[in-house]
């Protein structure tokens, strides 16, 4: 992580990361960089270890070994709330909503942390603009929303109030294709506004539309890091010899 050769220092540097679930090693010796202001697609087949890497970055699991440098600080093993305060948000595969609160209460809780009262109304309006369905259901309890609507609600919180680094895990899961395209447009927009993106995605084609760099994992290891060529070419890195 140096800029001595004139290249911009990466915002996130994962170095020699090893993480396990009990006796099972899910990722080992994973290293890659995510340059600031760009979008990196983290790709690979089911079980490759992509989500495990994302969890280690956002502090949901503690790695066994290795470093995760974010903006010059090694965040490996730090608590999730501290990592969030440094400016990393992780939109997980799941639907992390408060089931017993309404849509609007869920959004207000997320936005109030950073917003003054006047700004809160503007942020709510942006969320409803992004996902009109949420506006229609603003008074409904989040626990009674459909799976796709809960996913919209958890995404709205991070898309309207973008962090320094946004880690998005399987964004398209549970969303209709037309909504996936809209969310990708929003991701492209927040990238131009300075948010760095790490996108884990099963719809590789969609992710490659906005990716500046690609990292491919297979069986817990990085098998390719470089330009996002084509989906077929990238898939060949784990299909050959697997």
Residues that bind ligand ATP (CB under 6 A): 21, 24, 26, 44, 46-52
Q: Rounded to the nearest whole angstrom, what is the least distance from the CB of residue 98 to ligand ATP in the complex? A: 22
Q: Which helix (H) or strand (E) holds 13?
A: strand 10-21
d(CA 237, CA 89): 29
d(CA 57, CA 97): 21
Question: What is the three-class DSSP state of 185?
Answer: helix
DSSP state of 193: T
Q: Rounded to the nearest whole angstrom, what is the least distance from the CB of residue 24 to ligand ATP in the complex? A: 5
Question: In this complex, which beta carbon is closest to ligand ATP, that of residue 51 or of residue 58?
Answer: 51
Q: Rounded to the nearest whole angstrom, what is the least distance from the CB of residue 19 to ligand ATP in the complex? A: 9
Angle at 69 between CA 63 and CA 75, to 5 degrees: 50
Question: In this complex, which beta carbon is closest to ligand ATP, that of residue 50 or of residue 157?
Answer: 50
Q: Rounded to the nearest whole angstrom, what is the least distance from the CB of residue 210 to ligand ATP in the complex? A: 19
d(CA 76, CA 231): 31
CA 163 to chain centre: 10
Question: In this complex, which beta carbon is closest to ligand ATP, that of residue 24 or of residue 81?
Answer: 24
Q: Which two tokens stand for residue 201?
A: 């995605």
Question: In this complex, which beta carbon is closest to ligand ATP, that of residue 26 or of residue 142?
Answer: 26
Question: In this complex, which beta carbon is closest to ligand ATP, that of residue 127 or of residue 204?
Answer: 204
Q: Rounded to the nearest whole angstrom, what is the least distance from the CB of residue 21 to ligand ATP in the complex? A: 3
């Amino acid at each position: 992580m140096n800029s001595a050769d004139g290249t911009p220092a990466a915002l996130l540097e994962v170095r020699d990361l090893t993480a396990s679930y009990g006796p099972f090693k899910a990722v080992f010796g994973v290293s890659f960089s995510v340059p600031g202001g760009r979008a990196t697609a983290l790709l690979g087949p089911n079980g490759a270890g992509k989500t495990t890497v994302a969890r280690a970055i956002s502090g949901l699991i503690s790695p066994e070994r290795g470093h995760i440098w974010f903006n010059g600080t090694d965040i490996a093993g730090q608590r999730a709330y501290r990592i969030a305060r440094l400016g990393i948000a992780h939109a997980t595969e799941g639907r992390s909503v408060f089931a017993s609160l309404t849509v609007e209460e869920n959004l207000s809780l997320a936005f109030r942390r950073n917003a003054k009262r006047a700004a809160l109304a503007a942020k709510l309006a942006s969320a409803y603009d992004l996902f009109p369905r949420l506006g229609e259901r603003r008074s409904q309890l989040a626990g009674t929303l459909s799976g796709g609507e809960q996913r919209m609600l958890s995404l709205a919180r991070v898309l309207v109030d973008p962090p320094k680094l946004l880690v998005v895990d399987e964004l398209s899961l549970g969303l209709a294709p037309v909504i996936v395209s809209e969310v990708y447009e929003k991701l492209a927009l927040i990238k131009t506004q300075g948010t760095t993106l790490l996108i884990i995605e099963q719809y590789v084609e969609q992710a490659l539309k906005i990716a500046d760099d690609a990292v491919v994992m297979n069986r817990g290891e990085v098998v390719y890091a470089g330009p996002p060529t084509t989906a077929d070419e990238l898939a060949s890195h784990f299909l050959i010899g697997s």
